[in-house]
Structure 1
Amino acid sequence: MELLLRNLRLRPSMFFLDGSFGQYVAFLSGFELRSKAAEGDFLEGFGDWISTRFGHDRNVTWPTSVLRSIWPDWNGSAANWSKLDTESENRASAVLFELLAEFKGFKPGASGEVP
């Protein structure tokens, strides 16, 4: 799992992604559906974990909780993800992978990437 997350973060084009937050969310959501059907629940409890960690309502999706961990007043929908500027997009993606690493018990690498 660590290798998947590392490659996903550092080489998004390997997975036909552009490295945007929205595409990472779509990929991880699809992977989650596949993992439920095959070997387990990859993101089970992730949304609740983020909500508890940051004191957010549990009635929002995990992507919204990730964004609220950066911008507490974030109130946007998935349609607003495409409106993030490049700096915000990079920050949202970095925080997503930092939180995934922490949730899964991985230690981030020296430059913040998932090991």
Structure 2
Amino acid sequence: MIERIDTGTRMSKIVKHNGVAYLCGQVGDGEAVTEQTRDCLARVDALLAKAGSSREQMLQAIIWLADMDDFAEMNAVWDAWVPEGHAPARACGEAKLARPALKVEIIVTAAC
């Protein structure tokens, strides 16, 4: 069975299937990559809770940065957020994001 949560015309914020929650990409508010990453991860936390999951159950994270020069700054926030011993499989790359002001987008998959 597939469960879609907060579904709109274009996408669902969460899709659950076979005990796995797939979250749509999350972006954050703020000027600096640090602010955007913190806000983005707070949104991930909220969606994980809504899906019946948590940071400890993350399976994979895909992170897009508008500029790889922000890698260390984003990682400082990420490393403080991920629970010790529960780091997911992860990829990070550079991409042109949906709006010029965006610096980071994070996509998470988690067990639930």
Please give the TM-score of this superposition, normalised by the length of structure 2: 0.29
Q: Greater share of helix residues, 1 or 2?
A: 1
User: Using CA pairs below 8 Å that are at least 6 residues apart, which structure has the higher relative contact order?
Assistant: 2
Larger relative strand fraction: 2
